[in-house]
Amino acid sequence: MGNIIEELYYGNLRPEENIVPQDSEYRSINKEITAYIEKFQEKLSEDDFKQLEVLFDMMDQVHSIHSKEAFASGFKIGTLIMIESGYSS
């Protein structure tokens, strides 16, 4: 990665793409979610499952918006901490 400001400007800095939680609970819950989705896909009609997928997509959008706001808030707090502590390069 080059100059961080340039990377940010060009949209090359995408931290959400590099986050892979190492928490074993995360992986376990993801496996359970997948199993539930597969069960619903087997039990529901094709139309009902498509509606469920729409719901999942909306939930993903809400989660993405929340994550974006949490990231921005954390970044602002980190910047304020650096300013308050007199950080200089």
**SS3 letters across the chain:** CCCHHHHHHCCCCCHHHCCCCCCHHHHHHHHHHHHHHHHHHHHCCHHHHHHHHHHHHHHHHHHHHHHHHHHHHHHHHHHHHHHHCCCCC
The one-letter amino acid code at 3 reads N
Both 19 and 34 in one domain: the answer is: yes
Query: Which two three-digit tokens encode residue 6?
Result: 């340039």
Both 33 and 50 in one domain: the answer is: no
- What is the number of structural domains in the chain? 2
pLDDT at 54: 98
pLDDT at 3: 80
Both 66 and 32 in one domain: the answer is: no
In which region does residue 63 sit, left (phi positive, over 0), alpha (psi from -120 to 50) or beta (all else)?
A: alpha
Both 53 and 26 in one domain: the answer is: no
Q: Give the structural domain span for 81.
A: 46-89
Both 31 and 1 in one domain: the answer is: yes
pLDDT at 44: 97
Both 24 and 54 in one domain: the answer is: no
pLDDT tens for each residue of 32-77: 999 999 999 999 999 999 999 999 999 999 998 998 899 889 989 9
